[in-house]
Structure 1
Amino acid sequence: MKEETVIGLVEVAPFKALAVRTGMTPDKSGTRVAWSKLTEHVPLDDERLNSVQSAFVFIPQQQWDKEVDTLWVGLKVKEFGIVPEGVETLEVSGGLCASARVYGDETSMWGVYEKMFSWLEQSPDYELDKRDGVLGMETVPLKPINALTIPYSDIKTFDFTMLYPVRKKLIK
């Protein structure tokens, strides 16, 4: 039985992240390369990390209007501390986010993106917050399997949660 996609609203607390910037690559390996660089400099046992349940892929939300070409792969931290070369600091403002869980094959994943953006277009109350500096997030669980260590083409089941900041629609 196919799981129905539910779009919900969740409040995300502000947080700090250490992250590595990447671009979209034709073979979709950019996030995997960034993850490898990140964990080389910030190992999963680094004392700055909050309880490490998931990694984040950050997307500047104004990119949704054109083409997504810049992403960051990051980990939530309590403090930045000494920031290694090649790693950037991100301050995630948090707030109200539209949320949806992706769990399934590539076709189902693209279907959830479609449902998310359709929901955002049709919502009478909310719109995607596309102001400069606002980052959407996709949380990637690290257990039981960390998808960021598997080539994209080998992933059979995509498992992550979309968290895209929204704001009340401006009345026109």
Structure 2
Amino acid sequence: MQVTIVERPEMKAAVIRIPRDGHKVREAWKEVTAKMEGHPAVADRHHGLVFIPEWQWETEVIMLWVGVEVTGFDSLPPGLEQITIPPRKFAKIAVKGDRDRMWETYSFLSEWFRTGPYERDMSEGSLGYEMNPLQPVNPFEIPADKIDFFEYDIYAPIKVAAGVDGSGVDRED
């Protein structure tokens, strides 16, 4: 497994907030896509996003936001919340494999933060996210209790630790 430090531009998203539950993630996805179908503000029709409130890692992640990236918030359908993530650096790691491999990837990322020069930004208001490709298979269309293969990227926001200059950062636009 490999963690890459990437710099991402500002991201806006139209989302629905839900309890952390795979079934509710899929219900929210269906609602978001129904509301946003054909909407001109959708910036990325190839990925679905699940946002993680980073401050919840201190205890337990109990809430998520599910949605799509948008170019702006004008004329969004009712029932969608708005999220803006400022330009910033993230630790990016790919999840690819079965459920055990998914949990191994999260553990690897946690250990990487614990032992490396970067600190995960778990301050109030900081959001990480999972970027799920919707092709060739849309993972949100597979029931939570049936899905047995995961393939997505985790973007965990970072703070640069003292003495680290941030060099070696890849830029993703």
**Given that residues 18 and 87 in structure 1 are in contact (C-alpha distance below 8 angstroms), is that contact kept between their aligned partners in structure 2?**
yes
Structure 1 gaps, min length 5: none
Structure 1 position 42 matched with structure 2 position 36 = yes
Q: Displacement of 1:24 after TM fit? A: 1.5
Structure 1 position 98 matched with structure 2 position 70 = no
**Given that residues 94 and 165 in structure 1 are in contact (C-alpha distance below 8 angstroms), is that contact kept between their aligned partners in structure 2?**
no
Q: Displacement of 1:155 after TM fit? A: 1.3
Q: Secondary structure at the match of 1:153?
A: coil
For 2:146, the equivalent position in structure 1 comes to: 154
For 1:9, the equivalent position in structure 2 comes to: 5
Letter in 1 for 2:76: V
Letter in 2 for 1:66: T
Structure 2 gaps, min length 5: 164-173
TM-score by length of structure 2 reads 0.90
For 2:134, the equivalent position in structure 1 comes to: 142
Structure 1 position 116 matched with structure 2 position 104 = no
Distance 2:20 2:42 in 1: 26
Distance 1:94 1:55 in 2: 19
TM-score by length of structure 1 reads 0.90
Q: Secondary structure at the match of 2:101?
A: helix
CA deviations over 1:5-31 (Å, ceiling 9, x no partner): 111111111111101111123xx2121
The alignment covers a number of residue pairs equal to 163
Distance 2:55 2:130 in 1: 16
Q: Displacement of 1:170 after TM fit? A: 4.8
**Given that residues 93 and 134 in structure 1 are in contact (C-alpha distance below 8 angstroms), is that contact kept between their aligned partners in structure 2?**
no
Distance 1:17 1:87 in 2: 9
Q: Displacement of 1:94 after TM fit? A: 3.2
Which runs of 4 or more aligned residues in structure 1 lie more than 4 Å from their structure 2 counterparts after TM superposition? Answer: none
CA deviations over 1:142-166 (Å, ceiling 9, x no partner): 1111101111121121011000110
